[in-house]
Amino acid sequence: MQVAVVKETGTAERRIAPVPEAVDKLRSAGHEVLVERGAGDGAFFPDDAYSEAGASIVSADRVAEADVILMVGRPDAAQLGRLRAGQAILGLFAPLTEPELVSQLAAANVTAVSMDLIPRTLSRAQPMDALTSQSNISGYKAALIAATTFGRFFPLLITAAGTARPAKVLVLGTGVAGLQAIGTARRLGAVVSAYDVRPETRTEVESLGATFIELTSVGEASGTGGYARALTDAERAAQQAELADHITRHDVVITTAQVPGRRPPMLVTDAALKAMAPGSVLVDMGASPLGGNVEGSAPGETIVTDNGVTIVGADNLPSTMAAAASAMYARNISSLLTYMIRDGEFTVDLDDELVAAVVICRDGAVIHPALIKTAEAAD
Ligand code: NAD
């Protein structure tokens, strides 16, 4: 079987699906590996490293002839145009929020597998869990960005020139990224508090040495599969108002809140920003073109408000640590690919709940139940 690796074309995307080590393993399993010229440059894996691992370095057109295509992000128009019927393509396609891409993949008659739909609850899927591997990187990097943007120390520092009190950091959303942000901020010496609408995260927060904040105005909002549900308008307003008091008592706020398939919940309003002290810093990991967790944030932009509060809109943080992110993602995608190969062929066994959870379209049709439901609701 021919497995090909494309050069990512997404804005500021530096990752590559498999690192050379993963290519070596695919070759050992008997597959021919094609890597598009320069595909690893952004993560500092040169073509030579892939050649040494046994891959052929080829053009974009040649990549498009393979049986299976491995990607990190989504294919662009040119890559979509080169897809062949019956081919399989694996990547992080965010299908719940990208219905147009889903339709395009179905129209291309390919088997599309979205790495962000890996079920978190299946233990055999853990090595394939790309959302977790990439969120860990995002959380770590968000805490580092917060520390370097903040004009004071994170740790307590006692020197002959004076004493610096430790920074007070608040992490909103304590899923994978939030917990990693807490751990990183704690290791830098900050005093950390955290909040999530899923109260079951309290134990994990406390085990990292942070204080869990409980809101009285909003109850539990756990959804299905370990995710949060979207809040009602009344719950959201109550949450924003109560959170504002906590936000103003902190020097640094890192927001990571997400609800699958929805725009990120707004947690820090303009009123809360205006009440923060000058020099405060927010890093919004939810920043997106649709809006983020912080009012006014924009992905890839750093804004300083009139009252001296810096808002950093995070944008593809895993890509800023492309070598580590690619190494982890390579493990995830190789595990899923290996799992789906039976007798040397890429096989779609929809009776397997893991496979059924990740295949979004096949034979010209969208087959994923959640996507069919979303499309029906939109009609
Ligand atoms: P996510 O990225 O979907 O969301 C991040 C956090 O934001 C979540 O903790 C969510 O509860 C929180 N959130 C959403 N709306 C909010 C609001 N209005 N206010 C405050 N917080 C809000 O979550 P994730 O990091 O992908 O984790 C999702 C689940 O998957 C978790 O239950 C996690 O424990 C689980 N998980 C399990 C495994 C495993 O078992 N192997 C691995 C990874 C993750």
User: What is the Cα–Cα distance from 324 to 318, expressed in whole angstroms?
Assistant: 8
Q: Which of 79, 78, 242, 236 is nearest to 70 (CA)?
A: 79
CA of 176 to the centre of ligand 1 (A): 6
Q: Is the CB of 212 under 6 A from ligand 1?
A: no
Q: Are 293 and 257 in contact (CB under 8 A)?
A: yes
Residue 258 Cβ contacting ligand 1 at under 6 Å: yes
286 CA distance to ligand 1 middle (Å): 13
**Each residue's pLDDT tens digit, 232-258:** 999 999 999 999 999 999 999 999 999
Question: Which one of 97, 117, 120, 134 would you pick to mutate in the ligand 1 pocket, going by the greatest count of ligand atoms within 8 A of its CB?
Answer: 120
- Residue 223 pLDDT greater than 90, yes or no: no
**What's the rounded mean pLDDT across residues 322-339?**
97
DSSP notation for 188-227:
TT-EEEEE-S-GGGHHHHHHTT-EEP--SSS---B-STTP
257 within ligand 1 shell (Cβ under 6 A): yes
**Among the listed residues 68, 71, 75, 69, the one whose alpha carbon sits nearest the alpha carbon of residue 107:** 75
* pLDDT tier, 224 (very low <50, low <70, confident <90, very high otherwise): confident
Q: What is the mean pLDDT of residues 64-84?
A: 97
What's the gap in Å between 259 CA and the centre of ligand 1?
Answer: 8
pLDDT in tens, 133-158: 999 999 999 999 999 999 999 999 99
Bridge partners for 57 per DSSP: 35
pLDDT surpassing 80 at residue 82:
yes
Question: What pLDDT is stored for residue 15 in this prediction?
Answer: 98
| pLDDT 10s digits, 97-128 | 899 999 999 999 999 999 999 999 899 999 99
Full-prediction pTM beyond 0.85?
yes
Ligand 1 atom index nearest CA of 228: 11
Ligand 1 lined by 135 (C-beta under 6 Å): yes
Residue ID of nearest Cα to ligand 1 atom 3: 258
Query: Which of 138, 259, 266 most suits a substitution to test ligand 1, by most atoms within 8 Å of the C-beta?
Result: 259
Which amino acid residue places its CA nearest to atom 16 of ligand 1? 257
* pLDDT score, position 226: 80
Residue 220: pLDDT over 90: no
CA of residue 223 to ligand 1 center, whole Å: 10
**Is residue 366 within 6 Å of ligand 1 at its C-beta?**
no
**Helix/strand/coil for 3:** strand
Residue 376 has pLDDT above 80, yes or no: no
Q: For residue 228, how far is its CA from the centre of ligand 1 (angstroms)?
A: 7
C-beta separation of 115 from 128 below 8 A = yes
For the Cβ of 139 lying below 6 angstroms from any atom of ligand 1, the answer is: no
Tens of pLDDT, residue by residue over 183-218, are 999 999 999 999 999 999 999 999 999 999 999 998
In short, whether 228's Cβ falls inside 6 Å of ligand 1 is: yes
Q: Is the pLDDT of residue 270 over 90?
A: yes
Q: Closest Cα to atom 28, ligand 1: which residue?
A: 227
Whether ligand 1 lies within 6 angstroms of the CB of 175 is answered as yes
Span 15-47, pLDDT tens digits: 999 999 999 999 999 999 999 999 999 999 999
Indicate the pairing of strand 2-5 with strand 68-70. Answer: parallel
| Residue 187 structure tokens | 């290791």
